[in-house]
Amino acid sequence: MLRGSNFYFKVPRFSIVETEKQNLDLRFYQFNQYREVLAVLGGQGDAKFKPGIRLAFVPEKGDAIFAELKYVASIPEAQNRQEGYFTVSGDDLTRLSKEKFKSIRLIEAGNPALKVFNLTRSGSKNVNRRAEDALKQLDEKK
């Protein structure tokens, strides 16, 4: 899904939202020489992903980071499990490693917020820590 040469991150999937009705996890999956990052948002619960839905990573301060789901896979082995693939820039990865995020929003065309998932304090710290790990690997390939 990325142009050019693809390199895999050595960053395991990590949890960002855990509730009774919804679990979300994130994984930084691949990157290329253009500092583009392919990431996977995994969800198990009532949220339904589909290609074209936009994600907004909403920080406590400042502008959100937007990404569009390019591909969605259903995982038959796990009930109600889906994975949505999206890309972000190296600059967005840097922001993910430094800023505190309060929520992730799923946005459909014409709908301001289809679903809003509030990140726990540990979920936000997981995003920072794992994005920093991914950023180190991205910078090693310069």
How many structural domains are present in the chain?
1
pLDDT score of 111 more than 80: no
**Among the listed residues 26, 77, 18, 69, the one whose alpha carbon sits nearest the alpha carbon of residue 48:** 69
- Which residues form the domain of 19? 6-140
Residue 121 lies in a domain: yes
Q: Specify the pLDDT at position 40.
A: 97
**Is the sign of the CA dihedral 66, 130, 119, 74 positive or negative?**
positive
Average pLDDT over residues 104-118: 84
Give the residue from 79, 81, 80, 57 showing the smallest Cα distance to 68. 57
Which token pair is 128?
């920072």
Note whether residue 83 is domain-resident. Answer: yes
30 occurs within a structural domain: yes
Residue 65 to residue 67: CA distance in whole angstroms: 7
Q: What is the pLDDT of residues 44-87, one digit of tens each?
A: 988 889 899 999 999 999 999 999 999 999 987 877 889 999 99
Candidates 47, 63, 59; CA nearest to 106 is 47
Q: Which two tokens stand for residue 77?
A: 């082995």
Paired strand residues for 36: 89
Instruction: Return the pLDDT at 80.
Output: 81
Q: Is 120 helix (H, G, I), strand (E, B) or coil?
A: coil
SS3 state at 60: coil
Residue type, 48: K
Q: Are 65 and 26 in contact (CB under 8 A)?
A: no
Give a yes or no: residue 1 inside a domain.
Answer: no
116: domain CATH number? 2.60.40
Q: Over 70: is that where the pLDDT of 142 sits?
A: no
